[in-house]
Amino acid sequence: MIEIRHLRSLAAIADSRKISAAAERVHLTQSALSHQIRAIESHYGVTLFERSRQGVKFTQAGERLLALAKAVIAGVAEAERDIIRLKDDTRGELRIALECHTCFDWLMPVMDEFRRRWPEVEVDLVAGFHPNPIELLASGKADLVIGSRPSRRAGFHVAPLFRYEIVVVMAKEHRLRSSRRIDADDLRGETLITYPVPPQRIDVIREVLEPAGVKLQRRTAELTIAILQLVASRRGVAALPNWGVKSYVDHDYVLAKRIGKGGLMSELYAIANPADAARPYMAEFVEIVRQTCARELDGIALI
Amino acid sequence: MIEIRHLRSLAAIADSRKISAAAERVHLTQSALSHQIRAIESHYGVTLFERSRQGVKFTQAGERLLALAKAVIAGVAEAERDIIRLKDDTRGELRIALECHTCFDWLMPVMDEFRRRWPEVEVDLVAGFHPNPIELLASGKADLVIGSRPSRRAGFHVAPLFRYEIVVVMAKEHRLRSSRRIDADDLRGETLITYPVPPQRIDVIREVLEPAGVKLQRRTAELTIAILQLVASRRGVAALPNWGVKSYVDHDYVLAKRIGKGGLMSELYAIANPADAARPYMAEFVEIVRQTCARELDGIALI
DNA sequence: ACTAATACATGAATCTCGCTCATGATTGAA
DNA sequence: TTCAATCATGAGCGAGATTCATGTATTAGT
């Protein structure tokens, strides 16, 4: 008899196109998923998808079950929200502060979806640039910070979001235009264009340039689009999330290059006070971020 | 994590109003169901229903989960039908013959629902009275007979429907009007009004009168309403299913009396040729009968 | 009031079935 | 060809679901 866990597996497979990747998402081994699928297939006497190296392709029967899965999963989630509402007082506010300003790109759809699910929660963005957004949590000016992992000593509740790659963007005519990858030394003499935050908060400085003893001139801008304008007009280079610059690269406005051998990776977390983290809608906000980003941003990995 | 089996349990509890009765319907012990519910309740931190002597009453949270359960169960059933359709050729015909003519009462809503679910199957009623409807199966004139259990030697596929009580109905002014129960001897000298079928096919004769050596005059009528007219106008008594006469008794047209100490019970089965019984829509027709009757008929027990 | 009956709860024992582990099979790429 | 990636398969284990035995509470009957 089919169960919700099977439907969740199915949805995960549909999302990731690969059984082994889907297995991770539902916290199972590849073997377990394989067994699950086989069980469903033999139960109904149909095949759910054609397996191949580059992912699975759903059959008609698979699509039909997938449609059921999506409906059931959504229905269950909605019912669970309603039950929480019946049980607890779910009014509250969610003031969000961003450490990484590129995140505005994906925050809007996330907030939209969140408002739909928790209309009684007041969502707000904490405006302006802050040298250390985490302090906003401690001072009670924000309820949730999206940024890099704080030291665990600070006592905050930390939920992992995703890992992404930071790339160097440069003008199309830049002298390094034909390099496949960029190392710290390559950048000597360049101007680095960043958001107006302390150098220690900028990954490429902290992780790459400083260890190599390379110190660049800096120039700041508040908006991603402004940074890219400066880059395109050859006022310097910038280091930004790959998903933040993808559309500009695709349109050939600028070039993006990998940093170092394996690329410079960074991770985003949702950080909250432990008291607030227990609120029912908090975990769901994090889930919405993860799902939305996994769907809309290229080249990220949920963590 | 909640699973479909929990939702099925919940729906069964809602239907039967009693945990122990519901347990049987989902093929579990009362204990297992009790544990299941407790697990769900503690998982969500809510109570799903107030337990009391005469059944359970759903709380708001219980109602919400129940709504989910109904939606999910219906969705799963629909998806499974679609998958069967994708897999097999599901066209076919379903010619139904009735052994018990009172069954026309509930057959219409059943057929309606069936047509909705399997529009590509041609449903038909085999008209007229037949001395032995089972023969219609063997001769290929019917695909499904609804009646009492045939001898297992006959090689038919038999699906149980429900158990019900056969009561004696009599005019309000009948000499036995104040008896609480009727025994074979009480009926000596009466006229028994029946459908026009052989005496061996009439339960009250086979099970009660004949064993007691009581032989009554018989008179026949083809329609339940005609039999009741004759009873009401004091032309005799009849023995009919309790649910078949309930509305007439409730309106005080006739009286109904229990037969013997524990009542005369009878059972209905759906009988088909094994080859036909394998067809996907057959099992579902039986399910629809069971569910519809459990919902609409008073005083029956699914078997 | 006492007893019997009915319905649900509870804890321990048991057992099922779903998971992981180890390994094999297949296929595409280098 | 070999390697790497992906999925399949079978055996064995263990968590969790079920049953069994019993307890508790409420109700009906005499």
% of chain A residues with pLDDT over 90: 57
Are A133 and A270 within one domain?
yes
**Is residue B26 one of the residues assigned to a domain?**
yes
Q: Does the pLDDT of residue A89 top 90, yes or no?
A: no
% of chain A residues with pLDDT over 70: 100
What is the Cα–Cα distance from B193 to B292, expressed in whole angstroms?
Answer: 28
pLDDT at A211: 92
Cβ atoms of residues A41 and A48 within 8 Å: yes
Q: How far is CA A284 from the centre of its chain?
A: 15
pLDDT at A32: 93
**Is residue B121 one of the residues assigned to a domain?**
yes
**Is residue B302 one of the residues assigned to a domain?**
no
Q: Which of chain D's bases lie under 7 Å from a protein CB?
A: 5-11, 17-21, 26-27
**Is residue B292 one of the residues assigned to a domain?**
yes
pLDDT at B209: 94
Directed axis angle between helix B30-44 and helix B4-16, to 10°? 110
Domain-terminating residue out of B34, B58, B87 = B87
pLDDT at A210: 92
Query: What confidence tens digit (pLDDT) does each residue in A186-240 have?
Result: 999 999 999 888 888 899 999 999 999 999 999 999 888 899 999 999 999 999 9
Q: Is the pTM value of this prediction over 0.95?
A: no
Are B80 and B107 within one domain?
no
Whether the CB of A87 is below 8 Å from some CB of chain B: the reply is: yes
Nearest CA in chain B to A47: B87
Whether the CB of A1 is below 8 Å from some CB of chain B: the reply is: yes
Question: Which residue in the set A5, A76, A87 is minimally distant from B45, CB to CB?
Answer: A87
Report, as an integer, the average pLDDT of A87-103. Answer: 86
Are B172 and B261 within one domain?
yes
Domain-terminating residue out of A61, A87, A113 = A87
Cβ atoms of residues A288 and A144 within 8 Å: no
- Owning domain of residue B137: 92-162+267-297
Question: Residue A106 belongs to a domain with what CATH number?
Answer: 3.40.190.10
Q: Does the pLDDT of residue A178 top 90, yes or no?
A: no
CA distances from A181 to A168, A176, A178, A197, A257 (A): 9, 9, 9, 26, 6
pLDDT at B280: 85
Are A111 and A154 within one domain?
yes
**Is residue B138 one of the residues assigned to a domain?**
yes
Sequence-ordered list of residues with C-beta below 8 angstroms from that of B217, at least 6 positions apart, any chain: B190, B191, B192, B236
Question: Residue B83 belongs to a domain with what CATH number?
Answer: 1.10.10.10
Domain count, chain B: 3
Q: Which chain B residues have a beta carbon less than 8 Å from that of A2?
A: 4, 76, 80
Directed axis angle between helix A30-44 and helix B60-87, to 10°? 70
Which residue in B188, B185, B189, B169 sits closest to B177, CA to CA? B169
Are A40 and A83 within one domain?
yes
Are A253 and A294 within one domain?
no
Domain-terminating residue out of A38, A70, A87 = A87
Are A282 and A145 within one domain?
yes
Are A55 and A23 within one domain?
yes
Query: What confidence tens digit (pLDDT) does each residue in A4-52 have?
Result: 999 999 999 998 888 888 998 899 989 999 999 999 998 998 989 888 7
Note the CA–C1' distance, B52 to D25, in angstroms. Answer: 10
From first to last of the 303 residues of chain B, give the pLDDT tens digit: 899 999 999 999 998 888 988 998 899 988 999 999 999 999 999 999 888 777 788 999 999 999 999 999 999 999 999 999 988 877 889 999 988 888 888 999 999 999 999 999 999 998 777 778 888 998 989 999 998 888 877 889 999 998 898 999 999 999 998 888 889 999 999 999 998 888 888 999 999 999 999 999 999 998 889 999 999 999 999 999 998 898 899 899 999 998 987 788 899 999 999 988 888 899 999 999 998 998 888 878 887
Window 48-77 of B, Cβ < 8 Å to A? 60-61, 64-65, 67-68, 71-72, 75-76
**Is residue B303 one of the residues assigned to a domain?**
no
Are B67 and B107 within one domain?
no
Are B188 and B274 within one domain?
no
pLDDT at A87: 86
Sequence-ordered list of residues with C-beta below 8 angstroms from that of A170, at least 6 positions apart, any chain: A176, A177, A231, A237, A254, A255, A257
pLDDT at B72: 97
pLDDT at B200: 87
Are A55 and A114 within one domain?
no
Secondary structure element (H or E) that encloses residue A184, with its range: none
Report, as an integer, the average pLDDT of A156-169. Answer: 92
Are B176 and B258 within one domain?
yes
Cβ atoms of residues A241 and A252 within 8 Å: no
Protein residues in reach of strand D (CB < 7 A): A 18-21, 30-31, 34-35, 37-38, 51, 53, 55-56; B 5, 27-29, 31-32, 35-36, 39, 52-53
